[in-house]
Structure 1
Amino acid sequence: MLFFLIALLISSNLFSANVRIKDFAKFRGARDNQLFGIGLVVGLNGTGDSGNLNSSLLANMLKNFGVSVNPNDLKSRNVALVMVVADIPAFYKPGMRLDVVVASINDAKSLRNGILLQTPLYGADGNIYAVAQGPVSVGGEDAKGSASLQKRFTVVGYIPNGALIEKEIPMSIVDGNSVTILLDRPDFTTAARTAAAINTTFKTNIAKAIDGASIKVTIPNAFADDVISFLALLEEIEVPVDTPAQVVINERTGTVVFGGDVKISDFVLSYGNFVVVISNGQIGDKQATIGNLITALRSVGATPQDIIAIIQELHKAGVIYAQLRIM
């Protein structure tokens, strides 16, 4: 039986919710960076790679310790070649730690109980910014006796705080005497409201929306020597963020999620045993919205498949004032 979820966000308060700038935007220049490296996981109980590739790499590693070993003498299924990846947030300093993900590259069966040997992590510029090492976790034991539980995927692991930062990635968020705020989801209405909220807060026109994604803010002279305090004040300003009307349908799970004030124009629809009538902007004695339509359909026994099919037909007919996304 399909799981049916309805997320209703149609009240005027949610439609224009006041949200802190830090929760829906970031400053230009303050961005994460991706790190990656190739390493070896050892200590596997016969579940590592077959072949000679990992043996050659392990032999080269041993040379760094003054131990000369023939790769042919290191044939073992206890070692796996892995790719190590991590994201380094903005302004992280040497000595701070990162979580890392470890994934098998070759034909290892499992990374369970393995230990990642020290692995340099590179940025896109080819420089080393962190080193990773530690025990690999792939989750708990496989659950048995229930068909509803997913089998563990044991060739991908995780090391909490497994990377130590060695070099800071240089970043700058101040350009001359201004900073730029970037919206996580570009929207002209939200950009204009953000600029207006900043100007209202500081009682001067220091902010201007450049486009649907960016707002340029001039740093006041009073904060010329304390930019961080100014940025902190900007982050805490609340803005009535606009929520576009949209309906998201997942046909596989029978899920319908809709946000914003999703309204419907008048129509008459015949579908199977159902006849749906919207007249004068009303469904019975209620306003014609997606939420009220779904409630009415479910009250007369419509299944998730029926509701999804009806919503799709209404969108084709152009009577739903919202974006439709099908997953």
Structure 2
Amino acid sequence: MKKIILVLILIVSILSFANVRIKDISDFRGARDNQLFGIGIVTGLNGTGDSGNIPSEMLNNLFKNLGMQIKNQITSKNTAVVIITADIPSFYKEGMKLDVTVSAVGDSKSIENGVLIQTPLYGADNNVYAVAQGNVLTGGAEVKSTNLQKKYKVSGYIPQGAIVEKEIPANIVSNNTITLNLKHPDFSTAARVSMAINVTFSDKISKAMDSSSIKIKIPDVFYDDVVSFLALIEEIEVQPDVKAQIIINEKTGTIVLGGKVKLADFSLSYGNFVISVNDGSINGNPATIDNVIAALKASGATPQDIIAIIQNLSKAGYIYGEVVVM
């Protein structure tokens, strides 16, 4: 009865927040995806397969390590040697299915419409955790257009093409505690998450260890029901802090603004453009980077002009935030 009352109180408390769920910005330590890989053969190709020459000594060694003798065996143009990759999420059990990616490693022209022969998929410990098999898909129908890129035919995928044969153990509880890892480490966000958990449970069960980790003690009332405790933790909402950042892609002329990017007062002359920020305002509007960009656009500045101006302002120290150029 005490546990039911506590759960109801926690649910009411959780609903009082209006920000982002903890489950959307963090993961439990010990519960993570693992990468699987394998080398197999795709058959059923219409003369677009390998010529029979393994492309490198490295691949030959890889085949030998996996106990495969492929060299000089693939002589049909209707077959191709491929590498298969997949991610297996934590807590996946035997019999569950995974999507797999299939990529040609030889000189095959296309693996479209091919069939992958049953292939074991290995983990980093060289143990088999899944087997893959099925029809390889390389995308939609070929569309002839000058505006579209040609379909890439030497890489494809098999939806639900692998069956899990062995579960990868995952242990998220250690000494009656669990640890949250933030997807984007930040001291402010870690502190807020810890505080929100303590407020929700009306007890100091959580502590931020650094910018990415928050350690949480499991209350005695949830000792035999950790899953319910984890579910409640996931639904608590907090306001993550966002770093003041400007991301620039020079190739596409794209500018992405994040966080509270503030500006110092400045005067700038660039080509035919003259911009001034005085007493924290520009043309009567608050001096924010997006208002500066709007003013530049209104003056006829191109994306390249705007990017150059932002970079110069950053170098001069007038932008209080990080500028990342891609």
Q: TM-score, normalised by structure 1?
A: 0.88
For residue 109 of structure 1, what is the amino acid of its counterpart? Answer: K
Matches within 5 A, 1:187-206: 187-206=186-205
Q: Distance in 1 between matches of 2:229 and 2:303?
A: 50
Q: Distance in 2 between matches of 1:140 and 1:92?
A: 30
Superposition CA RMSD, Å: 1.6
Q: Distance in 1 between matches of 2:184 and 2:19?
A: 16
Matches within 5 A, 1:32-71: 32-51=33-52
| 2:88 corresponds to | 88
| 1:310 corresponds to | 309
Secondary structure, counterpart of 1:41 in structure 2 = strand
Deviations 1:87-134 (A, max 9, x none): 000000000000000000110000000000000000001110000000
**Identity within the alignment, %:** 61
Q: Distance in 2 between matches of 1:271 and 1:263?
A: 21
Matches within 5 A, 1:215-294: 215-294=214-293
| 2:109 corresponds to | 109
For residue 80 of structure 2, what is the amino acid of its counterpart? Answer: A
| 1:5 corresponds to | none
Q: Distance in 2 between matches of 1:294 and 1:148?
A: 30
Q: Which structure is richer in relative contact order (CA contacts within 8 A, separation 6 or more)?
A: 1
Secondary structure, counterpart of 1:38 in structure 2 = strand
For residue 150 of structure 2, what is the amino acid of its counterpart? Answer: K
**Is contact 2:54–2:106 with CA below 8 Å preserved after alignment?**
no
Shift of 1:152: 1.0
Secondary structure, counterpart of 1:194 in structure 2 = helix
| 2:7 corresponds to | none
Shift of 1:227: 0.3
Moved over 3 A (4+): none
Q: Distance in 2 between matches of 1:294 and 1:75?
A: 60
- The answer for unaligned runs of 5 or more in structure 1 is 1-16, 58-70
| 2:8 corresponds to | none
Secondary structure, counterpart of 1:252 in structure 2 = coil
Deviations 1:133-189 (A, max 9, x none): 000000123321x32211111000100000000000011000011000000011000
Q: Distance in 2 between matches of 1:100 and 1:180?
A: 30
Deviations 1:235-254 (A, max 9, x none): 00001100110000011001
For residue 86 of structure 1, what is the amino acid of its counterpart? Answer: A
Number of aligned residue pairs: 295
Shift of 1:52: 6.0
- The answer for unaligned runs of 5 or more in structure 2 is 1-17, 61-71
| 2:141 corresponds to | 141
| 2:22 corresponds to | 21
For residue 40 of structure 2, what is the amino acid of its counterpart? Answer: G
Deviations 1:203-234 (A, max 9, x none): 00000000001000000000000000000000
Q: Distance in 1 between matches of 2:250 and 2:54?
A: 44
Secondary structure, counterpart of 1:34 in structure 2 = strand
Q: Distance in 1 between matches of 2:75 and 2:191?
A: 64
For residue 30 of structure 1, what is the amino acid of its counterpart? Answer: A
Q: TM-score, normalised by structure 2?
A: 0.88
